[in-house]
């Protein structure tokens, strides 16, 4: 069976592998297609495509947008997007600035708790990519305030932790519309992480195209649960490893691969836009 992995991160957001490294690992995993879905960034797509052409792998232009639903972060994946659209790139620049402001607010809260880390140190970790909480976690480990990336999130930075600051405000409807406005297909990422399945029919009414139905490695529920939900609400299926590299999170490239016919259905939907 031909397989694909449509949820991969690189150093252009919070992954630790370059786009070129991701493509080469996908080749070793015998994948037919992948999608680079960096958080609020598309700057790694060209490099991935250049290597993929040499290795004979299909790279689907993608992105993972952060939106706010009932005060919580949720993620909407976009596939087959026109990642060179100027209006879209302008939005991403706003999101990037919003992420920097968020990091500044989080660090101010940490400083008030006696954890003396600097904004400059965190931005240096992000390099040319968009900055996020994983980069703060790395600095907390280096400075000796926690012993691991996981502890940083459990103790301070996690969604249920004491340190919180909102990202650039974007509603799910706006995220879906933005993806579709550039020819893309919108897919709810890792729905099992939100503990509120009611979001699926609600977003389906707002134009959501699909959901990830391949569960992450730590999913303890019925593995067919989201497949049935996709069928119930007439949504397309997708999935992937949510690979982040050495930083952790997700699974190795290809471990949560999907049948290539999922890709064909997503592509068909995109071609109608």
- Domain limits for position 126: 92-157
3-state secondary structure of 250: coil
The answer on pLDDT for 149 being more than 90 is no
**Residue 42 pLDDT class (50, 70, 90 cuts):** very high
In a domain, residue 31? The reply is: yes
What is the rounded average pLDDT for all residues in the chain? 94
Calculate what percentage of the chain has a pLDDT beyond 70: 97
Cα separation, 99 vs 175, whole angstroms: 16
In a domain, residue 140? The reply is: yes
Same domain as 100, residue 59: no
Tokens of 211: 């959901």
Same domain as 100, residue 53: no
**Residue 216 pLDDT class (50, 70, 90 cuts):** low
DSSP H helical segments within 58-169, as ranges?
Answer: 86-112, 119-126, 133-142, 149-152
Same domain as 235, residue 182: yes
Count: domains in the chain: 2
Specify the pLDDT at position 164: 81
Same domain as 174, residue 259: yes
- Name the domain boundary from 157, 179, 208: 157
Same domain as 129, residue 242: no
- How do residues 56-96 score in pLDDT, each as one tens digit? 999 999 999 999 988 888 999 999 999 999 999 999 999 99
The answer on pLDDT for 239 being more than 90 is yes
Same domain as 102, residue 44: no
In a domain, residue 164? The reply is: no
Specify the pLDDT at position 118: 96
């Amino acid at each position: 069976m031909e397989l694909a992995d449509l949820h991969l991160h690189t150093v252009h957001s919070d992954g630790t592998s370059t786009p070129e490294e991701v493509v080469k690992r996908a080749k070793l995993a015998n994948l037919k297609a992948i999608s680079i879905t960096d958080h609020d960034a598309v700057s790694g797509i060209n490099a991935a495509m250049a290597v993929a052409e040499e290795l004979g792998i299909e790279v689907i232009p993608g992105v993972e947008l952060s939106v706010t639903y009932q005060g919580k972060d949720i993620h909407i994946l976009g596939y087959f997007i026109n990642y060179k659209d100027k209006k879209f790139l302008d939005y991403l620049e706003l999101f990037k600035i919003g992420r920097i402001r968020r990091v500044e607010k989080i660090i101010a809260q940490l400083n008030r708790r006696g954890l003396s880390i600097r904004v400059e140190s965190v931005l240096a970790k992000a390099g040319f990519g968009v900055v996020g909480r994983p980069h703060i976690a790395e600095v907390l480990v280096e400075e000796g305030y926690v012993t691991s990336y996981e502890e940083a999130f459990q103790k301070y930075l996690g969604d249920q932790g004491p340190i919180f600051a909102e990202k650039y405000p974007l509603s799910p409807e706006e995220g879906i519309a933005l993806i579709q406005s550039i020819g893309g297909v919108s897919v709810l990422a890792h729905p099992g992480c939100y503990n509120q399945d009611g979001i699926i029919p609600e977003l389906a009414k707002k134009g959501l195209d699909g959901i990830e139905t391949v569960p992450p490695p730590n999913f303890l529920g019925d593995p067919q649960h989201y497949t049935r939900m996709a069928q119930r609400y007439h949504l397309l299926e997708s999935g992937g490893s949510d690979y982040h590299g050495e930083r952790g999170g997700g699974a190795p490239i290809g471990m949560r691969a999907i049948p290539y016919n999922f890709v064909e259905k997503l592509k068909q939907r995109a071609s109608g836009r």
